[in-house]
Structure 1
Amino acid sequence: MSETISTGPDWLPLENMATAYWQSEVLFAALELELFTRLEEDAALEALAAAANCRGPELERLLFALESLGLVENRDGGWYNGKSARRYLVSGRESYLGDFLLYRRYLQAPWTKLSVKVSSQPLAAALNAADDYERRTLYYVRAMDALARLKAQGIVQILAALGWQGPVLDIGGGSGALSRALLSGVEGGRALLYELPEVLRAAAELYPRPAAWRGIETKSGDFRQQEFQESFGLVLLGNFLHIYGRRETGELLEKAAGLTMPGGLLVIHDYFPDTGRRVSAVKGRLYDINMMLNTCSGRCHLSSELAASLPDDFEPGVLHDLPGDSSIFISRRRAQ
């Protein structure tokens, strides 16, 4: 079940511009692998993987991304070209545009030097692989904090309507934007922000004033090994589970659920491919490709998969679409 509170914040077009290349790279990959041409011959995933010399699980994720963009369809246990793909992306047909589109990719590299072309002096990259780990972490935490602050109020609004009690356990909460928003105006509110030590060092640099940490305690470590001495009325997993594969996610979800008080809420903020809102579903599938490329085993999980992994003493989860392109999955632990 998915509930939407609003759509189209004014910052979303900027995010879409910044990630527009995700869509083009998905298209280019499919053309290079000749997937559209091969789909005219066999609709089965296994046959397609063999014909294209692809790894089955990774190919399936690419196909789901293509489906979200309207280029292919998944039905009756098979994969089929969509209308535009069948007309323009099947090699050998008179209207084939594959070579033209791949030529657009050939032109792509010079565009990365646009600022150099325009500038009258040398420019230093904001971030590059040669930077030390601490600097890269600070840049990452600052970037994620900017987005988290934009999304926090939408989450606070939904949780306020449902009713929640502390204390808060904010797992993977970055610099604490959501905890800070939740505790604002809550007298005596308390949150435990649990993060990696390098992330917390960056957070302290971003927010050096003690007032920014009022009510927020920090603890560093690996959540998978950490033992906790208390339970929490609100357990948050913000953009955390997509770092992990299905098996580890099940284990992490079980642990987080065990830390939730009876009557408390378990809240997962992420990009969900199975939301009913198209903009979020597309972002979920593309973000899944991003995690496939940039993590060892990460993926964007279906809310239905998370719901199936919840312990029996939790209510059925509800997926709430936030303003923008992400959602929160919420389930309440039944009172004993």
Structure 2
Amino acid sequence: MVDIPDPTVLYRVRDGAYAADLLIAAVAEIDLFTWLAAHGPVTAADLCAKLGLAERPADVLLTYCAALGLVDRDLDAGDRVGLTGLGRRHLVAGSPFDLRAYYGSLAERPAVHELAQVLRTGSPAAWASAEREADWSERLGDPAFAERITAAMDARGAFLGPALAAALADVPVTALLDVAGSSGVYAAAVLDARPEVRAAVFERPPVDRAARTLLADRGLAGRIDVITGDMFTDPFPAGFDTHLYSHVLHDWDAPRVERLLAASFAALPPGGRLIDHDTHVDADKRGPLAVAEYSVLLMHSTPGKCWSVRELAEMAGQAGFVDVEHRPGAGDRGVLIARKP
């Protein structure tokens, strides 16, 4: 077997591209830490109300700041947030070691203003900060953009896919539905070690066409079907005992994640399994740092974020799933598995 160097550091550089700009926005646009010094500890809900921040992006900001060691966050105390010594000493007005001016010198970066706007409105900015472009999901209707995004997701999956397959080695799978599976790279990885398994990618146009091309290029057109449909408006195909979401749920808000999990529960047979392969925030929302940084990018450009293990377990339980467990993957990814009774 060829020894492949671990590219996790390269994933982190790309996935964390917006993280520094969020901290600059928190310091220069909101002066979050000076406010916390005067009013904290407070609940996250009170912080949002007093500073005029939307819940989703504020949650991402607080997770990131906790991962950096700037705030302490206690979910079991009503999501109470207070400053740490690091935050108090270096990002609060009046401290002799105040670095706010240092961060403020970069406040004119375009992404800083975009992220401040997202924090206040909750509405995502354009994908990759592209000027005068539609929402990223709407842009997938453009074949050229869809092909570019599909190629990007496919490139990411070449390393991550085999690790996903290894994490699922003891999970029984007969027929796998790769929901919004893009190129089908993860379904292909699972099938690589399971010649008896069949699979299908459930994708909307024009991504479905890109998926067919890539699967044919890999010689997998006979093993992995592509079923055209919209996961939010079309019934899920029957006949599959495993539903895989890989890097899908992080693109959507809670109501739509809940809708997808409910749709999977309805379509799966008894004993069927739900698998979420993604970057997951720790249950206490204090890290890991790399995932918290990636969540900033998602918060900036989509209606979603990196969901915590706790949040996903609760939503899966509400949908009716049981035996929820979480396993490590590669490249800061994890695998959450749940079973339909």
TM-score band (shorter)? 0.7 to 0.9
State the alpha-carbon separation in 2 of the partners of residues 271 and 180 from structure 1. 20
After TM superposition, the structure 1 = structure 2 runs for residues 1-336 of structure 1, keeping only pairs within 5 Å, are 10-32=6-28, 33-43=30-40, 44=42, 45=44, 48-49=47-48, 51-75=50-74, 76-77=77-78, 78-104=80-106, 133-160=142-169, 162-209=170-217, 211-228=219-236, 230-274=238-282, 281-295=288-302, 297-310=303-316, 314-334=321-341
State the alpha-carbon separation in 2 of the partners of residues 56 and 228 from structure 1. 31
| Shift, 1:9, TM fit | 6.3
Q: Deviations over 1:205-263 (max 9, x none)?
A: 44443723231111112112222452322211111122221122112101112222333
Q: Which protein has the larger Cα radius of gyration, Structure 1 or Structure 2?
A: 1
Aligned identity (percent) is 26
Change (3 A) 1:85 1:136: same
Count of residues paired in the alignment: 308
User: 2:178, 2:200 within 8 Å by CA — same for their partners in 1?
Assistant: yes
- Decide which moves more: 310-319 or 127-136: 127-136
| Shift, 1:265, TM fit | 2.1
State the alpha-carbon separation in 1 of the partners of residues 254 and 321 from structure 2. 20
State the alpha-carbon separation in 2 of the partners of residues 47 and 185 from structure 1. 50
Change (3 A) 1:57 1:244: closer
User: 2:60, 2:305 within 8 Å by CA — same for their partners in 1?
Assistant: no
User: 1:275, 1:321 within 8 Å by CA — same for their partners in 2?
Assistant: no
User: 1:174, 1:195 within 8 Å by CA — same for their partners in 2?
Assistant: yes
Structure 2: unaligned runs, 5 residues or longer: 112-127, 134-138
State the alpha-carbon separation in 1 of the partners of residues 49 and 165 from structure 2. 48
Paired amino acid for 1:35: L
3-state SS of the aligned residue for 1:236? Answer: strand
User: 2:89, 2:97 within 8 Å by CA — same for their partners in 1?
Assistant: yes
Change (3 A) 1:28 1:12: same
Change (3 A) 1:129 1:9: farther
| Shift, 1:313, TM fit | 6.2
Change (3 A) 1:254 1:209: same
| Shift, 1:96, TM fit | 0.8
Change (3 A) 1:286 1:212: same
Change (3 A) 1:23 1:299: closer
Q: Which residue does the alignment assign to 1:122?
A: none
- Taking structure 2 as the reference length, the TM-score comes to 0.79
State the alpha-carbon separation in 1 of the partners of residues 266 and 110 from structure 2. 49
User: 1:191, 1:216 within 8 Å by CA — same for their partners in 2?
Assistant: yes
Structure 1: unaligned runs, 5 residues or longer: 1-7, 110-125
Paired amino acid for 1:318: E
